[in-house]
Amino acid sequence: MNPSFKPAWWLPGAHLQTLWASFLRAPVTLERTRERLWLADGDFIDLDWHGPHDAEAPLVLLLHGLTGSSSSHYILGQQQALAAQGWASVALNWRGCSGEPNLLPRGYHSGVSDDLGLVIAHLQAARPLAPLYAVGYSLGGNVLLKYLGERGEQSGLQAAVAVSVPFRLDHCADRIGLGFSRVYQAHFMRELTAYVQAKKRRFADAGASQNLSILEQLGPLDGMRTFWDFDGQITAPLHGYADADDYYRRASSRYFLGAIRVPTLLIQAADDPFVFRHSVPEPGELAPATELELHAKGGHVGFIDGSLRTPGFYLERRIPQWLASQSSSPMKRDQSCGKRTFSGS
pLDDT digits (tens, 9 = 90+) for 11-41: 999 999 999 999 999 999 999 999 999 999 9
Supply φ then ψ for residue 36, to 5 degrees. Answer: -100, 120
From the list 15, 253, 300, 305, the catalytic residue is: 300
CB atoms near residue 299 (< 10 Å): 25
Tell me what the pLDDT averaged over the chain comes to: 94
- Alpha carbons 177 and 2: distance in angstroms, whole number: 35
Residues 279 and 259 in one domain: yes
- Alpha carbons 303 and 285: distance in angstroms, whole number: 25
Residues 185 and 325 in one domain: no
Q: Tell me, what DSSP letter sits at residue 309?
A: S
Last residue of a domain, one of 190, 221, 249: 249
Last residue of a domain, one of 249, 266, 300: 249
277 Cβ contact list (under 8 Å, min separation 6): 270
Per-residue confidence (pLDDT) for residue 157, from 0 to 100:
98
Give the range of the structural domain holding residue 33, as residue numbers without chain letter.
14-168+252-343
Task: Judge whether 158 and 326 are in contact, CB under 8 Å.
Answer: yes
Pick the closest to residue 314 from 322, 253, 49 (CA basis): 322
Residues 260 and 244 in one domain: no
> Which tens digits make up the pLDDT trace of 285-339?
999 999 999 999 999 999 999 999 999 999 999 999 999 999 864 443 343 445 5
Has residue 94 got a pLDDT over 50? yes
From the list 115, 231, 272, 305, the catalytic residue is: 272
Beta bridge partners of 38: 44
Question: Looking at residue 127, which CATH number applies to its domain?
Answer: 3.40.50.1820
From the list 110, 138, 155, 279, the catalytic residue is: 138
Residues 206 and 101 in one domain: no
Has residue 68 got a pLDDT over 70? yes
Residues 185 and 207 in one domain: yes
Q: 271 an active-site residue?
A: no
* Identity of the residue numbered 326: Q
Q: Tell me, what DSSP letter sits at residue 255?
A: G
